[in-house]
Structure 1
Amino acid sequence: MDGAGGRAVTLVGIGADGWAGLASSARGALGCAGVVLGARRQLDLLPEDVQALRVAWPTPLRPALGCLVAEHRAAGLVVLASGDPMWFGIGRALVEELGSEAVRVVPHPSSVSLACARLGWPVEDTTVVSAVGRPVSAVARELHDGVRLLVLSADASTPAAVADLLRDRGFGASEVVVLEQLGSTYEQRVEGVAATWVAPPGAALNVVAVGCRRSREGTVEPRLSLVPGLPDEAYDHDGQLTKREVRAVTLAALAPAPGELLWDVGGGSGSIAIEWLRSHRTCRAVSVETRPDRAARIIGNAARLGVPGLRVVTGAAPGALDGLPAPDAVFVGGGLTAPGLLEACWSALRPGGRLVANTVTLESEALLARWYAAHGGELTRVAVSHAVPVGGFTGWRAGMPVTQWAVVKPVAR
């Protein structure tokens, strides 16, 4: 099988059991290879009678991938990867580089499949988070009572980092099992509870299994639903926060979908972008905030709430929007009256995308009314009152009403 750019590249998954665990098709591909690319640990698993030139991946890998493949492809290139290469592996990058028709994949059972087999967990009911090249804080998004969670470790320090996070987020009662060197003759497991986890670092090749259990006592962490409208106390803020009820209405109007990109303009505490990202693991967001202290606060909130991938741009819009990828949705929560802001957002928005703007001031409300008259959409006023003590009785305290304009950009016909 040859791709448009030359000979096909074979991508072989290999486990900790090395050569002994490879199928005949994988052994055959390696036996015929002129060059084998892979991590040094994986290359060392091959026997001496594999005569191919062995080339270890550089660091960082991704920028060098295209050049390495181009250099060695004509010689008959095989790429080694851990387990199933299309599961959090090099397979994605290789297919993006060459196209699927130019890559032949020979998978091996993934560490996830092996871990679930050892634990007796159904794979389809198990949540997986990778900490390989990613912050461990991404685990926080998945913490819910009763969830079975597998964390793909970066190294031997990951289990302790996961246990620390579980304690910090009120899940110290969670059962933790570290499965080391799955599939090899050195395979072992270490078990404990997050609240008392003291196991020393073990093998670098490991998977952390967590049976999530929320601690019933001694925690003040709010419950974090995946439905928009997290408790206000979930956020560190200086008062610049879209309040819970308005936030839920706003996210409903923004209508996040998998893979879509949000611009959160006037980020404040980052709540809109954060809850957009929490709606699906493939959602993307950029939060634009003028003040550096608030930008730092957004970064902290995003990490604590399990979406460390939120990109934060510090600067004033519309200038700070220059060069950003075109959004599928835009939320403007501040700075509406800045000259050219709405024009820049509307121009950048993809056809069929949604723009939502909130305001509490008469000046910005007048601006939204003009845009509503010109472009249609929905103009809504949201008013929320909360019950509060009034002497020995209870009465309603009204918050400032929020005017919201929501519109879908027309698709050209």
Structure 2
Amino acid sequence: MANLIHVIGIGPGNPDYITPLALELINNADILVGGERVLKPFTGLGKELFIIKNNLPEMVRFIKSRCEDCHVAVVASGDPGFYGILEYLRRYFAPPELAVEPGLSSIQMACARLGISWHDAVFCSIHGRDAAGLVELVRVNPKVIILTDPNMTPAALARELAEAGVSNKKMYVCENLSYDNETIGEFDIDNVPEDIGKSGCVIVILDKA
């Protein structure tokens, strides 16, 4: 019988936000699977590593081939169940095969920094996707929280919104959350700088008061 595959969220990035149980599971694993940046803090543990980099089918084959005789932990930033790796893994592994340890998501961190609730927000991720439909989503909802990628910067999104006549909004751009170089900027839609959020960030868009 195969061992459980642990899917572990490690929070927004700063090791201070990794839960004690997540650390215990990582320490007890034989193999760690994850992106290079995510696994960097654990390279000194002497674990076998599988780096995820545009190779998800290969990742699945690797896990299937090793989980019979090894303890495999898939390590993910944020929470693996929120626009994360869990959805992909569920296509190939039954729920009883996966043990999920949640983590603090960057969206939770962004809302905490802004002092706002998030149960009433509309969420969207544009990681690797175009912004089709996003303009209308922002237009009709008073609180929209967006995970971006380098292909859709805050300035690019702001231009699309402005061109569509969506201007009575405030945009908050949250970068490097939990790190020493964390920044949070507040902007009008027509005044978002070009040089922010180029490596991905959390954008919070609220109706103006």
TM superposition score normalised by structure 2? 0.89
**Which residue number corresponds to residue 7 of structure 1?**
3
Summarize the alignment of residues 379-390 of structure 1 with structure 2, pairs less than 5 Å apart. Answer: none
Q: How much does 1:13 deviate?
A: 0.5
Q: How much does 1:47 deviate?
A: 5.7
Aligned with 1:69 (options 63, 69, 75) = 63
Q: How much does 1:66 deviate?
A: 2.2
**Which residue number corresponds to residue 126 of structure 1?**
121
**Which residue number corresponds to residue 157 of structure 2?**
162
**Which residue number corresponds to residue 81 of structure 1?**
76
CA contact (8 A) 1:58 1:64 kept: no
Q: 1:33 to 1:203 in 2, by over 3 A?
A: farther
1:21 equivalenced with 2:7 (yes/no): no
CA distance in 1, matches of 2:120, 2:73: 33
Aligned with 1:179 (options 134, 153, 174) = 174
Aligned with 2:36 (options 25, 40, 48) = 40
TM superposition score normalised by structure 1? 0.47
CA contact (8 A) 2:10 2:19 kept: no
Amino acid at match of 1:32: N
Larger radius of gyration: 1
CA contact (8 A) 1:15 1:183 kept: no
**Which residue number corresponds to residue 58 of structure 1?**
53
Q: How much does 1:135 deviate?
A: 1.3
CA contact (8 A) 1:19 1:47 kept: no
Aligned to 2:38, the other structure's residue is in SS state helix
Cα deviations across residues 377-402 of structure 1 (Å, max 9, x unaligned)? Answer: xxxxxxxxxxxxxxxxxxxxxxxxxx
Amino acid at match of 2:84: G
Cα deviations across residues 16-42 of structure 1 (Å, max 9, x unaligned)? Answer: 444332112111111111111111110
**Which residue number corresponds to residue 387 of structure 1?**
none
Aligned to 1:6, the other structure's residue is in SS state coil
CA contact (8 A) 1:143 1:212 kept: no
Q: How much does 1:203 deviate?
A: 5.7
Q: How much does 1:156 deviate?
A: 7.3
Aligned to 2:128, the other structure's residue is in SS state coil
Identity of aligned residues (%): 23
Aligned to 1:86, the other structure's residue is in SS state coil
Aligned to 2:123, the other structure's residue is in SS state strand
**Which residue number corresponds to residue 130 of structure 2?**
135
CA distance in 1, matches of 2:99, 2:179: 26
CA contact (8 A) 2:154 2:197 kept: no
Cα deviations across residues 348-381 of structure 1 (Å, max 9, x unaligned)? Answer: xxxxxxxxxxxxxxxxxxxxxxxxxxxxxxxxxx
Deviates more, 1:181-190 or 1:121-130: 181-190
**Which residue number corresponds to residue 193 of structure 1?**
188
CA distance in 2, matches of 1:151, 1:119: 14
CA distance in 2, matches of 1:38, 1:203: 22
Q: How much does 1:202 deviate?
A: 4.1
For CA contacts below 8 A with separation 6 or more, give which structure has more relative contact order. Answer: 2
Q: How much does 1:145 deviate?
A: 5.1
Aligned to 2:42, the other structure's residue is in SS state coil
Amino acid at match of 1:71: S
CA contact (8 A) 1:178 1:189 kept: yes
Amino acid at match of 2:65: E
Q: How much does 1:6 deviate?
A: 1.1
CA distance in 1, matches of 2:60, 2:114: 39
Q: How much does 1:210 deviate?
A: 0.9
Q: How much does 1:205 deviate?
A: 4.0
Structure 2: gaps (5+ residues)? none
CA distance in 1, matches of 2:159, 2:89: 35
Aligned to 2:193, the other structure's residue is in SS state coil
Aligned to 1:26, the other structure's residue is in SS state helix
1:204 equivalenced with 2:199 (yes/no): yes
**Which residue number corresponds to residue 113 of structure 1?**
108
Q: How much does 1:146 deviate?
A: 5.7
Aligned to 1:59, the other structure's residue is in SS state coil
Q: 1:194 to 1:156 in 2, by over 3 A?
A: same
**Which residue number corresponds to residue 101 of structure 1?**
96
Q: How much does 1:110 deviate?
A: 1.0
CA distance in 1, matches of 2:85, 2:58: 13
Q: How much does 1:157 deviate?
A: 4.6
CA contact (8 A) 2:138 2:205 kept: no
CA contact (8 A) 2:153 2:200 kept: no
Q: How much does 1:57 deviate?
A: 0.7
